[in-house]
Structures are given as structure tokens and as C-alpha cells.
Amino acid sequence: MKRLFILCLLLGLALTASARDIYQLNDGWEFFFKSENTSDNARMVNLPHSWNTDPLAGQNFQETTGNYLREIYIPEEWASKRIFIRFHGAQTVANLFLNGSHVGEHKGGGTAFCFELTKFIRFGSDNALQVIVSNTFRSDVLPVSTDTNLYGGLHRDVELIVTDEIAISPLYYGSEGVLCRPSRVSKERVEGEMEVQLLTSARTEATLHLEIFNAKGKPVYTRSQRINGQPKSVRIPFIFEHPQLWSPEETNLYTAVVRLYNDAHQDEVTIRTGFRAVERDAESGWIAINGQPRQLRGVVLHHDNALGGILSKSALDEDLDQVQELGATAIRSAVQPHAQHLYNRCDEEGMLVWVDAPMHRAPFIGDVAFYSTAAFELNAREQLREIILQNINHPSVIMWGIFSRLVPRGDEILQCVRNLNTEAKRLDPKRMTVACSDQDGSINFVTDLITWQQNVGWQRGSTEDLTLWRNQLRENWSHLGSAIIYGGEGFLGMSARTPQQLQRTNLPTEERQTRFHEAYSEQLAADSLFWGTWVENMYEYGSSRRPYGINANGLITLDRREKKDAYYLYRALWNKETKTVHLANRRDRMRYRTEQSFTIYSSEADPILLVNDDTVRLHQRGPVIYRSDTLQLRGLVQVRVSAGGIGDGVTMQIGNVLRPQARQVLR
């Protein structure tokens, strides 16, 4: 009865709706694994859905194939319409069948895709949808090397799109079919073209109408253009004076409405965009937004939380709020794009974005990150096209990531990277390309910008070597558009109790992570060489390939509940609006050594440290780092620090406790 009610409601809406109607298809799906052989025991699920709901499943993480079934009634009155289905994400390969006929296949988990259903539909009847989704490894679907979990399933929304016979195409690489292409942007004027993808017939005679509104809803440009015949793409030029430019400080957004119509048919698509000029400043080497150079403070975001790979709108909102609280000015979507909602919010909040393509290498010796096959390179190009064309209207997106940490073995991989960079510049000549590299060689000279991930002092050498590396880079390669990215794992509850143990062990303790970030932040605080500093990562993420089922590089735990010491270090450094005073290593409340020193991160000058009500002198080690002398302490000790009207503190037991070995106690 519930299904009949929903179908009748759809029919009623259809009879009174405008030319284009969109219906969500998130409810009422049946799911079962391919290995079950039958749908007799299928589970009822709503989308978004994943069969991997536990990031810490470890060896039980499922890389398999699942089936999604749903019936949908298509009324007879729609027989003159065109029917499409858009999936906003399926991890990783999806094949769609309608009434037993194969409609299409999509390869890639981070982008949307759309199929036309019209010729497969039985109008006036129920129609059977079946989606077969697989997240198993394939050498022709990127990424082929990653340590982030690829959570299988229909992990984003699905919708049905109903249009007239002529329409603005929803089939163009999963985009809206309307692409804003500004060519000149200044405070005096904006010039550009609105590219519109069309579905028409050879007999089509219609009008294409563009209207652009500013943030206050005032029209700033209007133009109509006649369409004859069957053009696949039309570009409508536009120009207007005195624009309200988009910037991180002033997020002025425009709305463009494109309408296609004639006496019999009509269609309409609305997009939101912003106008800004982005370039590399010749003098500083930094990124300039509307002529204003700025050094980016960025964090890397992956694609899961404690509930797996389904990130709801509210979860994305909360993540972005925490990124802003940290004081970061930019995010990097690692490996693949996030859902459109995140970039919509970044447009509104002024957060700058780097979106990665999935040409990625994980740090595992057994991995091959590049396959010199036509199918591999075709998928790399197809996913890059989808990423760019689906996100081109977002003013917050300022650069396209071409590759990450590839090892340039052989000419084929270098040529593939060059081809991808050329394709990105062809599709979007107004944005810069970027890559993340931990290698030497010609591969570093392909993209406009390069981000170095050396992690000196973590995997090899000491953090003091960072100074030598920076000096060499400045002397020999200062003409490159260089940024730096770094990070190291830090598990809460995993502790090496003494400084000697900390130096001898490679355990990924929080203390070791904290010292690493302290050393880097001290050395990079006043360095103008880099256009950006990127911390990897904002959050821990699930990785079934790692010993504990998690990559603990994050400043915040996977469940978003615990902020590590390094988080407060960067908040004190980056957030100039929120006061920060934090006592580091406060989780370690049982200490057997009687010699103790304390570290404080403070955005406020002259913090005061009290140990059992005695004032202890602090030495400033970096812009926000303060450290005490070594003290002789025993018994129950109360430690408090204050500055600027706020404070932090903890009570700990020192001495007279069991002398432990390096311990591992994971959450």
C-alpha cells in the first residue's frame, strides 16, 4: 500500500509538473550480495547505502559485488517524455539494468553519472531496476593503489529526471549540462561564455535564454539565442560591468538560469557560480585571488567516518565547521571528489578547494599504481573529465589534482600524466593543475603547481634535515610553484613513556606525531617559499590494509570525538579569532619518571604555568609553543596553564607507578 501511495503521488505530480521534474529514488531498494545467488533474503535499504559500515573491520572489510533492486511505476502520460536516472556516486563499478536490458556501465566511485532510460521503459506499468555494484580490484579502474577503504555500494543519492523531448542534457559527464566559463574577470567587468549541452532533434527550432542574477537576486545579464537543427553544444556569450567578485572573505554568488523552449516544449536548469581571478603571483609565488596573494593553510580530507563511507550532508557540515575552527583556509579532497554538498558549502564559506583525480599511489611496496594499457588510460581520462565538468561551476575549487605520489618508472607513465594535464587545461584553461610528489625527476615539471611530500624526519632522517632540504629547494628550484604536505600517524592510547623509548621506537604514538608536527611548524612558520602548507590529514580514515584497520595520520580521530595535541597546535597557529590554550600530552596521567617537563600551545602571549600552585618558567620554542624546564615531581600533581582569560589543566600521578614497557592500548 505504501508503494502504491508513492506511485500515485508521483503520477499526480507528473500531471501538473513543469517541463523538467526530478524525483528522489532513495527509498524502497532491496539489497543482496551476488554470492547469495537469490534475492529471497534481500534486505530493504534506503540510499545512500554501503555494505561496508565498519571502517575498523580490518581483514573482514568486504570487497565484493552487491545487487540493488527496485520497481518503479512509469505512468502512460510520460510516453512523450524523456526519462533519465542520475546516480551521484556508486563505489566503484556500477552496471544498470532496466527490465532485464543492460542500460550502461560506470567506472569510478567519486563522480556522478547519468543514463537515459526512455527506450527501455514500459509506460503505464512497473519497471524493474537492477544495479550491480562492485568494489573489487580492477586494473582498468582507478584508483588501483590506495590505502583508503573503498566502501562498496550506492553511497550517494539517486534521482529520476523527467524532461520534454528537447532538453538541456543531463548526460554530459554527469554534469548539469550548463558550464560557466569566464574568460576575463576583474573588478571592472566579467566576460565569458555559458556552455549549454543540448538534446535536440534535426527538426528542432527553439530559443535558448540565459539570465544571470547577482547575490541579491537582481538580474545583471540577459540574452536569448535561436537554436536550429541538432547542435550538441551551444555557447552563449555574456558580459557585465562592476561584478561582485567571489573571494574567501566575500563569497558573492551568482545564479544563472538557462531555459530552452519552443511552442511545444521547454526545459530549464539553474546553476550557482561565482566570479574570481585565480593565478600564481609572479613576485611572491603564492596563489593570488583577485590579485591578492595568499599562502594557503590546508588540510587533507578523506571520505569516511565511524559509520563508514556514507557522509551525510550534516556530517559534511560538521566536518567543514571543524576545519574552519582549526583555522585552515583550504581543503584537499584526497583520491577522489566529495559530494557536491561539500563544495556548495565551500562556495558559501570561502573555503578554497583542491580536488584530486584518482591517479594515486599508496605507500605499499606490493602496489602497482600505473598500468600501461589503453583501458587504464581511458578510465583515467574519463574520471578526470567527470571531475572537472561536474565541479567547474564552483568558485571555491581553484585547482585540479592530476596525480599523487607516483613513481616515474618508464616513459609511459610520464606521457600519461602529461596527457591528463593537457586534458585538464583543455577542459578548464582558467584553473591551475597540481600534483603531490615524493620523487625526483621530470614528472614534477608537468603541472602548474607541485606539492612535496617528503616527510623528512618521519620515515627517514631527522626533522632538522627539513632545513637543508628547504635551502636546496630555494637555491635550485625556487621557480617551481612549490607547496609542502606532511603528516604522521598518532594513535591515542599507544604510548612510549620515556624520551629514550620515544627516540628508539617507530611506534606511531601520539607523542611522536606531536613532536613531528611541532618541528615542522617551527621551521615553516615564517617560510615564504611555499604557496601552501598542507597537513595530512584532518581526520583519521579507515584502511583495512593497515595493522589496526585505520590510518591514524589525522589531527582528529575517525569518530570525530577526540582532538589530538597536534590539532591544538595548528588551531593556536592558524585560528586568529578563537583563543587557544592547551596543555600537551594531558592524556598521559600515570607517569613513572619523576623528571617531567610540560609543553603548552597558546595563541595568547605569556601563558602562566602552575604546578601544584607554584609558577613554573616557560620558554618559547616556536610562535605558539612553550616548554617548561625539567622538574622533579612525585605523587599527585596538579598542572594548570592559563592565558588571555582561558586555561587548561590536568591532575596526574607521577612516580610510584608500575614501570611499563612501550605499551599499545588502542581505542
Residue 515 main-chain phi, psi, to 5 deg: -60, -40
End-to-end CA distance of the chain: 46
More confident residue, 322 or 503: 322
Dist. CA 259–CA 163, nearest whole Å: 12
The residues, ordered by sequence, that sit 6+ positions from 303 with a Cβ below 8 Å of its Cβ are 110, 148, 151, 309, 311, 334, 335, 336, 338, 541
Taking a C-beta distance cutoff of 8 angstroms, is the pair 176, 161 a contact?
no
pLDDT of residue 458: 84
Tell me the torsion sign for CA atoms 654, 655, 660, 661.
positive
Question: Could you write out the DSSP letters of every residue in 310-365?
Answer: ---HHHHHHHHHHHHHHT--EEEE-SS---HHHHHHHHHHT-EEEEE-S-B--S-T
Each residue of 4-24: pLDDT tens digit? 334 444 544 443 345 799 999
Q: Is 388 helix (H, G, I), strand (E, B) or coil?
A: helix
Taking a C-beta distance cutoff of 8 angstroms, is the pair 604, 355 a contact?
no
The residues, ordered by sequence, that sit 6+ positions from 146 with a Cβ below 8 Å of its Cβ are 335, 358, 360, 362
Each residue of 225-258: pLDDT tens digit? 999 988 899 999 999 999 999 999 999 999 999 9
472 CA to centre of own chain:
32
Local confidence band at 126 (pLDDT 50, 70, 90 cut-offs): very high
pLDDT of residue 479: 86
For the cut 80, the answer to whether the pLDDT of residue 497 exceeds it is: no
What is the mean predicted confidence (pLDDT) over 510-527?
92
Q: Which three cell numbers stand for residue 294?
A: 595568499
Q: Give the least confident one: 322-326, 336-340, 462-466.
A: 462-466
Local confidence band at 505 (pLDDT 50, 70, 90 cut-offs): low
Q: What is the mean pLDDT of the chain?
A: 92
Dist. CA 658–CA 655, nearest whole Å: 8
Each residue of 136-181: pLDDT tens digit? 999 999 999 999 999 999 999 999 999 999 999 999 999 999 999 9
Local confidence band at 198 (pLDDT 50, 70, 90 cut-offs): very high
Taking a C-beta distance cutoff of 8 angstroms, is the pair 646, 578 a contact?
no
Each residue of 295-332: pLDDT tens digit? 999 999 999 999 899 999 999 999 999 999 999 999 99
What is the mean predicted confidence (pLDDT) over 73-91?
97
Dist. CA 96–CA 236, nearest whole Å: 34
Domains of the chain are 2-168 (2.60.120.260), 187-276 (2.60.40.10), 294-578 (3.20.20.80), 590-664 (2.60.40.10)
For the cut 80, the answer to whether the pLDDT of residue 501 exceeds it is: no
The answer, yes or no, to whether the previous bond of 219 is cis (omega within 30 of 0) is no
For the cut 90, the answer to whether the pLDDT of residue 477 exceeds it is: no
H or E, element range at 619: strand 618-620
* Residue % of the chain over a pLDDT of 70: 94
Residue 457 main-chain phi, psi, to 5 deg: 95, -5
Sheet of 125-134, strands arranged across: 43-45, 29-33, 65-74, 125-134, 93-98, 101-107
Q: Which three cell numbers stand for residue 639?
A: 598542572
pLDDT of residue 188: 97
β strands within 164-273, DSSP E: 167-168, 178-185, 189-199, 205-213, 219-228, 233-241, 254-261, 266-273
β strands within 262-316, DSSP E: 266-273, 278-280, 287-289, 292-294, 296-301
The residues, ordered by sequence, that sit 6+ positions from 583 with a Cβ below 8 Å of its Cβ are 598, 599, 600, 639, 641, 648, 649, 650
pLDDT of residue 663: 43
| HSE (side-chain half, CA atoms, 13 Å) at 228 | 1
